[in-house]
Structure 1
């Protein structure tokens, strides 16, 4: 028994129309479906909502709920803003830079490009306050993922015991240049 893939990921939004316009205009997603009802199908609770579905590529669906009768949405005050986010993969660094330029040209504040060694990312917030990441693979991604795969269980075990960052993959964010100016692995 195994999962096939994520069917959709759902977030709450402040304004359904504004959310659709942001994701279609800023990230070129297609608006594929809207469902609006006065009663929640799973709980039968009377609660009008608008449920939106956007095509995030390759069968991935990003969904939102606008809930006009509920208190204004907020964030978990104990979780930093950078933790909870959704990340989308883009083809390459040129595509990542093109998105960064497009977002900034449309007034969106963008953080990055951040080099995570195995991939490179930009970060920004949608109109609802959700953090969004766009990431592209590093040309050496496959090699580095093999190195990380070899230590993942040891790292998890050490973290579980100590709650301190294990150093098995410290090389990931500590790229060094060799004498000839080439990055050392």
Structure 2
């Protein structure tokens, strides 16, 4: 059987103040704070992970919070919207909650027959809550303030804005196994049926002539797609090399193994494995409660801890 991408694995974005980022996603949105570690390439900054109880693929949003980062700009060559799946009837709760916490949001609208609510995080990252046409069977993480009737289930879709969608669409269809589902004006919706109803959608928006994206605070750094294991990951690497694209060797990211390449439209793509998961260095009940360092940085723990802000 032909290898197929299983949907979105995680999305990584850039934030400013670390405490503010932590509070918004774990307290206002009610996601689980899964992991407090550092940027492997810049251990002087955190790498935060948010998601469901266990950090299931398709629920994981991660951040590099650089305290003095300048504001980025959404535009072609970038993932510009992150869509979460929420239950029907939850918008009133979320609009009231956004009002209480000073969150900027727009009135509900509809896209491809699905209601959605757009809002911005404290750094200006654009997110959407979407009521899916198809049932979402995922069990959400809940808190005392964000209960199961309204909680975020995980990713519904991600939107990529591009000067031209053609070459990116070819990667999605010819390499990743996605198919075109719907089109409205300049928005094209692609889906994988590998894992129905869970983080299966990618929207391509063509915006020729717009100013190119600036990747900095409040923007998406990269989008990661899911494969089950290392063998599948390496088969995808061979396919991408044959297409003449530059791709990294396999990189151990502690909680998954990854490849990175820039697709023809300019968006940084990652392909990531399900294994080994977030319990490799912390038990389930303690996820997100310790500062975890990759082995290559453990010897510098005291120096790193002294530099990082305390998160409460």
Q: Tell me the TM-score normalized by structure 1.
A: 0.66
SS in 2 for 1:95: helix
Q: For residues 256 and 229 of structure 2, what CA distance do their matches in structure 1 show?
A: 10
Larger fraction in helix: 1
Could you tell me which of 163, 169, 173 is aligned with 2:292?
169
Could you tell me which of 85, 94, 100 is aligned with 2:231?
94
Could you tell me which of 272, 278, 286 is aligned with 1:135?
272
| Alpha-carbon contact 1:51-1:65 (below 8 Å) kept | yes
Q: For residues 154 and 274 of structure 2, what CA distance do their matches in structure 1 show?
A: 21
Match of 1:85 in 2: 222
Q: For residues 239 and 285 of structure 2, what CA distance do their matches in structure 1 show?
A: 35
SS in 2 for 1:23: helix
Count of aligned pairs: 144
* Structure-2 change in CA distance of 1:137 and 1:4 (3 Å): closer
Structure 1 alignment gaps of length 5 or more:
37-49, 155-167, 177-185
Q: For residues 107 and 94 of structure 1, what CA distance do their matches in structure 2 show?
A: 21
What are the superposed Cα offsets for residues 50-88 of structure 1, whole Å, 9 maximum, x if unpaired?
Answer: 1011114433201111023x4242323x46x9x700011
SS in 2 for 1:6: strand
Match of 1:67 in 2: 207
Q: For residues 263 and 238 of structure 2, what CA distance do their matches in structure 1 show?
A: 16
Larger fraction in strand: 2
Larger-gyration structure (1/2): 1
Match of 2:187 in 1: 51
| Alpha-carbon contact 1:148-1:169 (below 8 Å) kept | no
Match of 1:144 in 2: 280
Q: Does 1:8 align with 2:131?
A: no
SS in 2 for 1:146: coil
Q: How large is the Cα RMSD of the aligned pairs?
A: 2.7
SS in 2 for 1:7: strand
| Alpha-carbon contact 2:224-2:270 (below 8 Å) kept | yes
Q: Tell me the TM-score normalized by structure 2.
A: 0.41
* Structure having greater relative contact order (Cα 8 Å, sep ≥ 6): 2
